[in-house]
Structure 1
Amino acid sequence: MKKEKQGLLISVEGIDGAGKSTLTHNVHSLLLQRNYPVLLTKEPGATDLGKKLRAILQERVIPICNKSEYLLFAADRAQHFETVVSPSLEKNMIVISDRMADSSLVYQGYGRGLNIALIEIINQWAMNNIKPHLTMYIRLSKEEAFKRLAQRDRLSTFEKKELIKKVFTGFEEIYKNRNDVMVLDGTQPPEYLTQLAAEKIVSLYSTKNSTFSVNVSNDIIKKW
């Protein structure tokens, strides 16, 4: 029986200022140029519902408790997987997401002090029991993140710094024994990180799909 293709799901994680958006956009553009079936998405805000939830979370017009904050992210995630991620994987696409479930583990779990085990259960349910084939973690020190965010005028409160410290600790903790995580040095040039990430994605996708042979992929990688 022919094995059904299921696409490739890549999540990109890291603390604020690590360069996730830059990396995901660069890799997406490069793979499109090479005619790979790739979709760039994000959490929160990839769906119509997600855009409204993202606005609520960002604008903070009304007070939001920590539990409600997480559940809004979970609602965004459920809609994202149901209407964007799962259908794209069924079409055998490469799906690259700027943030995913691990962000909730570290921001709402380690950062806000919510029950991590419960977050994991709700995440699994919201994601239809689908896990990323690979998570790319852009590691950046707290100090470097503070510098970058200050330059962007996005580090205005003591609470923000304290949250970033907790989030950094969270990422380091959850990724220390994971074999499905690729760690990238966030201090390296964006072009270099783009090449590393693209090479890894091409290799994984080629392994899953006979349409894109390993030889062809290697030829493409050499051009990068």
Structure 2
Amino acid sequence: MIKTKGFFITFEGGEASGKTTQIKKLKNWLQKNKIPSLITREPGGTKIAEYLRKIILSKKENVSINMEVLLLMTSRLDHLNKVIIPALNNNKIVICDRYVDSTAIYQGYYNKFGVQKIYQLHKLLLNNFLPNLTFVFNNNPNIAKKRLLKRKNKNKYDKVDYKFNNKINSAFIKLAKKNSRFIIIDATLSINEIHDIIISYLINKKSLNEFKKSKYNK
């Protein structure tokens, strides 16, 4: 396991769960309070990873599940080495929109590659580099459906399908309940309520001593 100085936080959940909106609000809060941070996403975050993202999420490309997993691992390795780890070594808080847990749920569980196989590959290829903290958004599939209907640019996983969104959401929650790294967020609450919960949790998190020692306020 690679040791770094910063703090690594990931946001996970099904499509249209509101996690990206919360990342933007958290970014503004961190900037307002002059806390060194980096906001990034997966797949993506580097030139190579963003290129691979287009292939992975394309509706046109006929990519097998094995190839999709390897492309995700490749993009993540590049992302870790060039962006995430350097930022953490500079004592920054890194916020990432999706990470290995999304691969475990979408490719491992839904596409039947195997959840444990995903984590085994992650351990083998990426030194089992995991977040310090992961927020998982527990969303209502009906709400997700309404939001997806309004979304213009959809990728192959942006499915306006109740069963699909319910399976993905349920799998995330099941995974989150198995590990103390995860914090489950009620995604049906208002945007401001969710933001306040996230900030309150981060301020009180023992691992974030810099928050406690500062005068940072909401």
Corresponding residue number in structure 1 for 2:182: 181
Q: Give the distance between the partners of 2:67 and 2:191, measured in 1 at CA.
A: 35
Question: Which one is further off, 9-18 or 109-118?
Answer: 109-118
Read off the aligned partner of 1:220 and give its amino acid letter.
Y
1:201 and 2:202 correspond: yes
SS at match of 2:216: helix
TM-score normalized with structure 2 length: 0.88
Work out whether 1:58 is the aligned partner of 2:54: no
- The secondary structure found in structure 2 opposite 1:220 is coil
Alpha-carbon contact 2:176-2:183 (below 8 Å) kept: no
> 1:136-184 deviations in whole A, cap 9, x for unaligned?
0111022221122123255999x76243233122112211222121111
What is the Cα deviation at residue 62 of structure 1?
A: 3.1
| Runs of 5+ consecutive residues of structure 1 not aligned to the other structure | none
The AA in structure 2 aligned to 1:184 is I
**Of the two, which has the highest radius of gyration?**
1
Q: Would the aligned equivalents of 1:8 and 1:89 in 2 still touch at CA under 8 Å?
A: yes
Partner of residue 152, structure 1: 151
Q: Which amino acid aligns with 2:82?
A: T
Name which of 210, 215, 220 aligns with 2:216.
220
Matched, 1:82 2:78: no
Aligned twin of 2:101: 102
Q: Which region of structure 1 is more displaced relative to structure 2, 59-68 or 30-39?
A: 59-68
Report the CA distance between 1:207 and its aligned residue: 4.2
Contact 2:149 2:160 in 1 (8 A): no
Tell whether the 8 Å contact from 2:136 to 2:173 is kept in structure 1 after alignment. no
Contact 1:81 1:126 in 2 (8 A): no
Quote the RMSD (CA, aligned, Å).
2.5
> Which deviates the most, 21-30 or 51-60?
51-60
What is the letter of the counterpart of residue 18 of structure 2?
G
Equivalent residue pairs, number: 214
Say if 1:82 and 1:50 are closer, same or farther in 2 by CA, change over 3 A: same
Give the match for residue 12 of structure 2: 13
Could you give the per-residue CA deviations for residues 19-47 of structure 1, whole angstroms, max 9, x where no partner exists? 11111111011111101011101101110
How many Å separate the matches in 2 of 1:70 and 1:62?
14
Q: Distance in 2 between matches of 1:86 and 1:98?
A: 16
C-alpha displacement at 1:50, in angstroms? 0.6
State the secondary structure of the residue aligned to 1:171: helix
Distance 2:41 2:203 in 1: 20
How far apart are 1:215 and its partner, in Å?
Answer: 4.8
The Cα shift of 1:196 comes to 1.8
Q: Is the 8 A contact 1:149 1:155 kept in 2?
A: no
Using the alignment, how far apart are the partners of 1:15 and 1:143 within structure 2? 12
Partner of 1:25: 24
Q: Could you say which residue in structure 2 is the equivalent of 1:73?
A: 72
Matches of 1:78 and 1:135 in 2, distance apart? Answer: 19
Rounded Cα–Cα distance in structure 2 between residues aligned with 1:183 and 1:11: 12
> Secondary structure, in 3 states, of the residue corresponding to 1:138?
strand
Q: Would you tell me which structure has more helix in proportion to its own residues?
A: 1
Report the identity percentage: 26
Whole-angstrom distance in 2 between the partners of 1:155 and 1:207: 36
